[in-house]
């Protein structure tokens, strides 16, 4: 029967990639570590490590066990802390994609802190692909993302409506037009987010469905840099309407309507299906879900 001790030894071996080093770190003998790994492989009828002369590498089965073991050990350690009275300052690790982090995340966290003022918060803002990976590896407790979650281990639900709009500089030929045809976008240079971004993935899918070539002249992980590049005429950009409301109102950017197109989407609230839901995490999830009507997803004039 598998025990927490089995899992902790396995995780240490996975981290060090060496049984002798794992044994030294755990203050046990090297044969004990070897025996434990052997017992796990026998129980699961799968090889967990590829054994090279000086280093071990996780197999596919080993990577699967590692992801689950991290969750199990975290749950056990949290239970141990609570029972010992050491959980007085709860911690929460929240992830967000760039658009979410720049627009709706802080109001949600502000409300959380108002009801959990002693929470120890850590936040990571990155693209959807990276945030999904960190949820899988139990490096985040929950996240709000703008892109599509592909792994079935991650539970996701739409909470906040959003839309993307096409923007250009005031001097661009499109700025004076009421609308453009989708085919006209094929000849234009674009300033887009990096690979792994949900915003970029949605627009790439739009262009691919219409078999239109996409000319990416700039690729950038900073939305502020993208807006600056567009304002100076280096290309068009597709961004959340929430991100450019100020620039649109000041006339620094112009919205371009695209005939027959509506790039609607939702921000997704995500967490691992095997995640232990603490009281603090539950409160965060409830607060985030209550923001379903937060802000207007699109400017009022015109529809994409």
Token digits of residue 52:
């090279």
Q: Radius of gyration of the chain from Cα atoms?
A: 24
pLDDT digits (tens, 9 = 90+) for 124-151: 999 999 999 999 999 999 999 998 999 9
* CA 93 – CA 70 distance, rounded (Å): 15
For the chain, give every domain's residue range. Answer: 2-82, 89-158+264-288, 161-262
Out of 45-49, 202-206, 215-219, 294-298, least confident range: 294-298
Instruction: Establish whether domains 2-82 and 89-158+264-288 are of one fold.
Output: no
CB atoms under 10 Å from CB of 87, counted, come to 16
* CA 284 – CA 286 distance, rounded (Å): 5
Instruction: List residues bridging with 281 in a β-sheet.
Output: none
Residue 208's contacts (CB-CB under 8 Å, 6 or more residues apart) are none
Specify the 3-state DSSP secondary structure of 34: helix
- Top CATH class of 161-262 equals alpha beta
- What's the fold here for domain 2-82? Arc Repressor Mutant, subunit A (1.10.10)
CB atoms under 10 Å from CB of 256, counted, come to 23
Instruction: List residues bridging with 190 in a β-sheet.
Output: 216, 236
pLDDT for the residue numbered 44 = 92
Residue 298's contacts (CB-CB under 8 Å, 6 or more residues apart) are 163, 165, 241, 304
pLDDT digits (tens, 9 = 90+) for 168-218: 999 999 999 999 999 999 989 999 999 989 899 999 999 999 999 999 999
Token digits of residue 11:
């995780």
Half-sphere exposure of 35 toward its Cβ, with a 13 Å CA cutoff?
Answer: 6
pLDDT for the residue numbered 300 = 44
Specify the 3-state DSSP secondary structure of 122: strand
Token digits of residue 247:
């620039």
* CA 216 – CA 210 distance, rounded (Å): 17
Cβ atoms of residues 123 and 112 within 8 Å: no
Token digits of residue 176:
């004076």
Token digits of residue 145:
């993302």
pLDDT for the residue numbered 87 = 54
Token digits of residue 140:
């985040």
pLDDT for the residue numbered 31 = 93
Q: Which long-range contacts (CB under 8 A, 24 or more apart) does 257-260 make?
A: 257/166, 257/178, 257/179, 257/180, 257/302, 257/303, 257/304, 258/166, 258/179, 258/180, 258/181, 258/182, 258/185, 258/304, 259/179, 259/180, 259/181, 259/182, 260/182
DSSP type of residue 220: -
Cβ atoms of residues 286 and 115 within 8 Å: no
CATH 3.40.190.10 is right for the domain spanning 89-158+264-288: yes
3-state helix vs strand vs coil in the chain, percent to 5: 45, 20, 35
Residue 296 confidence class, pLDDT cut points 50, 70, 90:
low
pLDDT digits (tens, 9 = 90+) for 72-117: 998 888 777 767 655 566 889 999 999 999 999 999 999 999 999 9
Half-sphere exposure of 113 toward its Cβ, with a 13 Å CA cutoff?
Answer: 9
pLDDT digits (tens, 9 = 90+) for 244-292: 999 999 999 999 999 988 788 999 999 999 898 888 999 999 999 998 8
Shortest CA distance to 163 belongs to which of 77, 66, 264, 76?
Answer: 264
């Amino acid at each position: 029967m598998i025990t927490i001790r089995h899992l902790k030894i396995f995780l240490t071996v996975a981290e060090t990639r060496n049984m002798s080093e794992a044994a030294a770190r755990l203050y046990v003998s090297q044969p004990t570590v070897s025996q434990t790994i052997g017992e796990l492989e026998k129980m699961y009828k799968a090889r967990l490590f590829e054994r090279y002369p000086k280093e071990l590498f996780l197999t596919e089965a080993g990577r699967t066990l590692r992801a689950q073991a991290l969750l199990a050990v975290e749950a056990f350690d949290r239970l141990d802390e609570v029972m010992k009275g050491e959980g007085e300052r709860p911690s929460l690790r929240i992830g967000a994609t760039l658009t979410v982090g720049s627009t709706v995340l802080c109001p949600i966290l502000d409300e959380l802190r108002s009801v959990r003022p002693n929470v120890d918060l850590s936040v990571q803002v990155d693209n959807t692909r990276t945030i999904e990976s960190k949820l899988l590896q139990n490096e985040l407790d929950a996240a709000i993302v703008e892109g599509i979650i592909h792994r079935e281990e991650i539970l996701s639900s739409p909470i906040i409506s959003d839309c993307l709009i096409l923007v250009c500089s005031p001097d661009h030929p499109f700025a004076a037009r009421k609308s453009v045809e989708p085919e006209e976008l094929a000849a234009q240079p674009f300033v887009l987010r990096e690979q792994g971004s949900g915003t970029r993935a949605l627009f790439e899918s739009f262009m691919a469905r219409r078999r239109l070539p996409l000319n990416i002249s700039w690729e950038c992980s900073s939305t502020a840099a993208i807006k600056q590049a567009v304002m100076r005429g280096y290309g068009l950009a597709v961004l959340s309407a929430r991100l450019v409301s100020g620039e649109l109102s000041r006339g620094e950017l112009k919205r371009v309507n695209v005939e027959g197109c509506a790039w609607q989407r939702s921000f997704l609230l995500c967490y691992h299906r095997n995640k232990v839901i603490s009281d603090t995490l539950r409160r965060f999830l409830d607060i985030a879900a209550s923001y379903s009507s937060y802000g207007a997803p699109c400017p009022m004039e015109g529809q994409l």
